[in-house]
Structure 1
Amino acid sequence: MTRTPDPTPAPAPHREPALAEAQRTHWQQTYRSHPEMYGEQPSAPARYAARAFAAAGAREVLELGAGHGRDALHFARTGFSVLATDFSPTGLEQLRTTAAAQGLAERVRTTVHDVRDPLPLPDASVDAVFAHMLLCMALTTPEVEALVAEVRRVLRPGGTFVYTVRHTGDAHYGAGTGHGDDIWEHGGFAVHFFPRELVDRLAEGWHLAEVHAFEEGDLPRRLWRITQEIPR
């Protein structure tokens, strides 16, 4: 489908690299100051994803934005081989330490990777991909679209992609410092709040199995959990 270009330029495009680097630094400092900041228990989306991946017969899982690894470790305990990526070496170092302590080192590999770059994997090389609140970080819409195209490239036929994003119904949407493209920075964390139209566009050419609304945290954050699959 051909889309008509938006005649209005994206606000302050030259600030995007600076914002990305600032967020990388902020997350590094956050992981150093608050090891295991999300706790040891897996997220509810990861528990759902593990069941969905198992039902689809998956064996290998790629997690994007794994952080200190609570969800990657859950996938490994469930029996999957896991490649965990994040742009924070500090978070991944914590993940490796915990994996070794729990006897899961053989099931978990890590690699430092910025999702603005192509995924460091061959075509059709993994069974499933998981990303909890990674796509709604400080990524522009074109960067999100390029990332989903990369996810599709590395998934095998019949592969499943489960991701979560905060959406424009969230209480923090429109609060704090605006960076354009529905990206708002609040408390040092920049978030790209998704409209439903973007979710539907990212699912073009996939089978969109589910868009599930849920809440997380004390605010609470309002999110969608999206499950989409590559047709066999």
Structure 2
Amino acid sequence: MADDADDERDLAQAQRAHWQDTYTAHPGMYGERPSAPAVHAAEVFRAAGARDVLELGAGHGRDALYFAREGFAVQATDFSPAGLEQLRTAARDQGVDQRVTTAVHDVRDPLPLPDASGDGVFAHMLLCMALSTKEIQTAVGEVRRLLRPGGTFVYTVRHTGDAHHGAGIAHGDDIYEHGGFAVHFFDRGLVDELADGWTPAEVHAFEEGELPRRLWRVTQTVPR
């Protein structure tokens, strides 16, 4: 067990450094246009009457900035200071910096926010990074803790039907490293487990990128 914990820490540290280096070397690497899941999430949040959005794993901010332009108050977190610095600069350039706050945060750690304090949480391909199943469960528990009744969580993950599942360096727990990036590929059982105690999850399959990556977009709400 100690060896497994050491391996998880080593992988986490390596991935943190890899993402920091990547954002530094490739500023704005995902472009300025919001992701399709973020556009969907904004519609869901607005229909639910949400005023604030927490984005976990915001990177350089293309989706956080979109939420801000759509009128939401946004708190953006990431474990890469380089990505968040690019986000803050873009927020100033776009004139939405008054609606955006940032915080360096590792999703493995508790969120520094009060219980039942948020309207909506968004995470695009964050939960499918190099996180163990237990870490994923804990992170989703934290999201549930901070959302108000009726609060909505929209997240996306690469799944076991993706072409990179089973390819590259295997780290166990359905985590595979390919091209320097480690991914935890979700099966449907894990999605259903993470939705336990929420409203029934809407699970939408879609593709993104050139491979293409195969993902699920999951929308689930805290019961009122």
Q: CA–CA distance in 1 between the matches of 2:184 and 2:208?
A: 17
Question: What does residue range 9-24 of structure 1 map to in structure 2 within 5 Å?
Answer: 12-24=4-16
Structure 1 moving runs of 4+ over 3 Å? 9-13
Q: Give a deviation string over 1:115-162, Cα, whole Å, max 9, x none.
A: 100001010111000000000000000000000000000000100000
**TM-score using structure 2 length:** 0.98
Q: Does 1:55 align with 2:47?
A: yes
Instruction: Select the residue among 78, 88, 95 that pairs with 1:96.
Output: 88
Q: CA deviation at 1:11?
A: 8.6
Question: What does residue range 197-216 of structure 1 map to in structure 2 within 5 Å?
Answer: 197-216=189-208
Provide the residue aligned with 2:65 in structure 1: 73
**TM-score using structure 1 length:** 0.95
Residues 158, 216 of structure 2: 8 Å contact kept: yes
Paired letter, 1:148: V
Paired letter, 2:76: A
Gaps of 5+ in 1: 1-8
Q: CA–CA distance in 2 between the matches of 1:84 and 1:185?
A: 26
Instruction: Select the residue among 118, 130, 137 that pairs with 1:145.
Output: 137
Q: CA deviation at 1:10?
A: 11
Residues 128, 160 of structure 1: 8 Å contact kept: yes
Q: CA–CA distance in 1 between the matches of 2:68 and 2:200?
A: 26
Q: CA deviation at 1:38?
A: 0.2
Residues 56, 121 of structure 2: 8 Å contact kept: yes
Secondary structure in structure 2 of the residue aligned to 1:51: helix
Identity of aligned residues (%): 74
When the two chains are superposed, the root-mean-square deviation of aligned CA atoms in Å is 1.1
Provide the residue aligned with 1:32 in structure 2: 24
Question: What does residue range 52-201 of structure 1 map to in structure 2 within 5 Å?
Answer: 52-201=44-193
Provide the residue aligned with 1:3 in structure 2: none
Q: Does 1:222 align with 2:177?
A: no
Gaps of 5+ in 2: none
Residues 155, 218 of structure 2: 8 Å contact kept: yes
Q: CA deviation at 1:14?
A: 2.4
Secondary structure in structure 2 of the residue aligned to 1:208: coil
Q: CA–CA distance in 2 between the matches of 1:10 and 1:152?
A: 29
Q: CA–CA distance in 1 between the matches of 2:51 and 2:200?
A: 21
Paired letter, 1:120: P
Q: Give a deviation string over 1:160-204, Cα, whole Å, max 9, x none.
A: 000000000000000000000000000000000000000000000
Aligned length in residues: 224
Secondary structure in structure 2 of the residue aligned to 1:40: coil
